[in-house]
Amino acid sequence: MSENPPGEGLVPKDLTVVDDQGEPTNAPTDQPYNPEKARDELRGKIAGWLIALLGFIVLASFMTLWLTNSKLTDGVKDILTIVFGPVTALVGSAIGYYFGGATKGGAGGGGG
């Protein structure tokens, strides 16, 4: 009697998973998991969300300055002084990291 690992021989090696139309679908492969594709997609999503945040801040500040009186304008200027600089730096860092990783073929990016 040979000692086989648990589960070995229960599933045929040539098993193909098919969908309703008989087309092969995401069947398990023998290739090891490569996280680079998911990492690149996440980088893109983070960069996109940060650009959207920056655009929202700029648009909201202009709308507030345009639609309100001069008393509120000073408060908006103060808030923008505090918020806009760090958000711009964050967006610049994220975009630099994203494109740094994209130009290297998704090989890790800008050091982090």
pLDDT digits (tens, 9 = 90+) for 48-83: 898 999 999 989 888 888 887 777 777 888 888 888
- At residue 31, φ and ψ (nearest 5 deg) are -80, 140
Decide: 80 and 92 in contact? Cβ < 8 Å: no
What phi, psi does 96 have (nearest 5°)?
A: -60, -40
pTM beyond 0.95: the answer is: no
Rounded to an integer, the average pLDDT of 29-38 is: 76
